[in-house]
Structure 1
Amino acid sequence: MTNELPVISLFAGAGGLDCAVERCAEPPLVHDGSGSPLRVRVATDYDGTALQTLARNFPHTKTILEDIRTVSTSDLLKVAGLSKGEPTLVVGGPPCTPFSKSGFWIEEKRNSQDPNASLLDEYVRVVSEAQPEAFVLENVQGLTYRTHQEQLRRLITGLRESGYSVEYKVLLAAEYGVPQLRRRVFVVGRRDGKPFHFPPITHSGESERDREYDPSKLPFVGVKEVFDGLPATPENGEIADGTFGELAAEVPPGQNYLWHTDRYGGRPVFKWRSRYWTFLLRLDPDRPSTTVQAQPGPWVGPFHWENVPNADGEMRARRLRVPELKRIMTFPDEFEFIGDRREVQRQIGNAVPVELGKVVIRALMEQMGYLDPLGDGARPEQVQETLLF
């Protein structure tokens, strides 16, 4: 394609944001192959298995398996066949571990002293030296917490000093049609100095914080709806059996271990609020899923709302299958992951929900004049005319 717009992908992982980049012209929650004017020229990550997944799904993308701290911007541009100022976008989500709630019990994370937090500076370095037209950075909501305000301030300052307007906002994936109550912060900037306007919310419903519903918007998408049509193919290790097997099977849909306290209808086994919310958590089929975690413990949900028999015929809760996890993260069904079940969940849990990435990148591309706001797809021949308004 002569009208391909080149993209550099940092901290690419399995390619969730890359998938959003290359499908941003498609309608919401639709993967019809209509694509996008954007193409990821080069992607880099230090996770070899995740990059194998990316390469399987994006055979045209060149990959660099290396720690970003040892990769020069000039090498990135060279591999991509680009010069400074030529990339349309730099995208990426630096590892979120330093800012995530999981691990907040570690003092260095609580005090924002995790050395991996410096990876934000590497993102700024590449943007500053590559000078793309715009950038999109994604991370966990925890980056905006007061405990990490110095890291966020340094990130915003560095990007602005590199010549970009910068806007950031925490988005709830379910409010954009993703069947998942996943909150992520997006930081978006433009080299031309124009502000980026985040896309309007399209869906409304109950979340873990809000009980109000806006009837002028579409209802949240429930997991039962998105699981429709998936083959009922069991997976090895999906049955949750063992120490808490019976207890997990007795938890009703939408409930968690609190069911088994003296305040609810189960067995009075656990003390009130003595565990994490996700412990023994079951999906409510009519509501979005809670956040899919990359490395859940054996009793960390969400588990499916239906029970299945174990080898002895006893009913047990079951873990979500890979096709179900892909639907929750709005990956295309045909997207292939490399690795065993545990490795695949790690890649999926670390990814950006494709539809959430799509809606942000589409808004950016529309505002930059590369996509028609009316939904007719790429309009590269009108780029210069659009930018004059």
Structure 2
Amino acid sequence: EGSINGIVGDYISKNPLSYPVVLRSHGGRWAAVKKDELHIDIAVIAASSADEMGNCTGVVGKSAFGPISYSEIDAMCADHVIVVTDNVVDYPCRYQEITERYVDYVVDVDQIGDPKNIVAGSLKITEDPEKLGIARSCIDLMEAVGIIRDGMVFQSGAGGISLAAMKYLGEKMEEKDVVAACATGGLTKYIIDIYRNGRVKSLYYSQCFDVESVRFVAENMEIPADIGHYADPTSKGRTVDHLDVVVLGATEVDVGFNVNVNTHSDGRLLHGIGGHQDTASGAFLTIITVPLYRKNNPIVRERVTTLTTPGDVVDAIVTNEGIAINPRRKDLIKRVRGKIDLVHIEDLKNMAYDATGGPMELDLGEEIIGLTKWTDGTVLDIIRRVKGR
């Protein structure tokens, strides 16, 4: 349970496991483990530095990769906890994210991984003019809504459009002489640039998306955010509820503003939920960025292939052909009136269908290979086997 990605997800899409995989958000998984709804027998946790008793971190050491925030709840609740490291240090480990009180064993190996491979394939700012236009439209929307101001709290995903949006946000903050209170979520070079330019006071990070971020964290040893504080829906307070704006991507969106981030339009399970649901439900303004279509496949459609994030927590969809605001957010529509042009979501769908001929026909079996769950554990959707091998 948690996340399934890439080749593993692709395999499971065609070869169901004994039980369906359960996809949860970062906060949803933390809550499920905490409540013992999801019981962990053995937790194997990588650490870039650990002492012989298991006090450990991912922030320093030859294989530093950033915070190990996601594994903290596993260490707290698992029956057996094994820390695997390639850098055993003298007791006590100088920087501790997980402490010895939870750890049963420490295993010393030659290398836990290559930090050079931290950068994901998606972690590159887009060079596509249309996608750069989408990113600029995100900033236009933020400015029209009035949230680019001193004290704002913001976050973005790590896709190419989201990265470009953060670059443009930094430029707009410089132009308006704005200083944000905090940036949350995963660190990227572009967030760090905003911080170094004095345009955000604090970084509340829970993971690193690139090598530069890993180096930055090692040199600026502030306490990273554990995922419980960041996104646990059962807690008394969480960071995502302070977000003024979050910019997120999607594999599909529909006319109900529902979002799919888990499967592609052919039904293959290739992505986890991550913090998508958590941030969308917490932010004042949740922006989803998508092109109208990719190749010959409409991305704005009548109904998403898989429901990941319900439309009632999505506020705006920004595309290369315009911005649609959720009709539920009459307050936002009123704020932007006369400042930016809006498009009806149905019109965006029609443009996508006219350009592509409509969605491909799915070839799915009856077997259920996976479930998507909301942050409270409610089942949102089922994912069926993709035919063919």
* TM-score in terms of structure 2 length: 0.30
* TM-score in terms of structure 1 length: 0.30
Higher RCO (CA-CA < 8 Å; seq separation 6+): 2
- Structure with the largest fraction of strand: 2
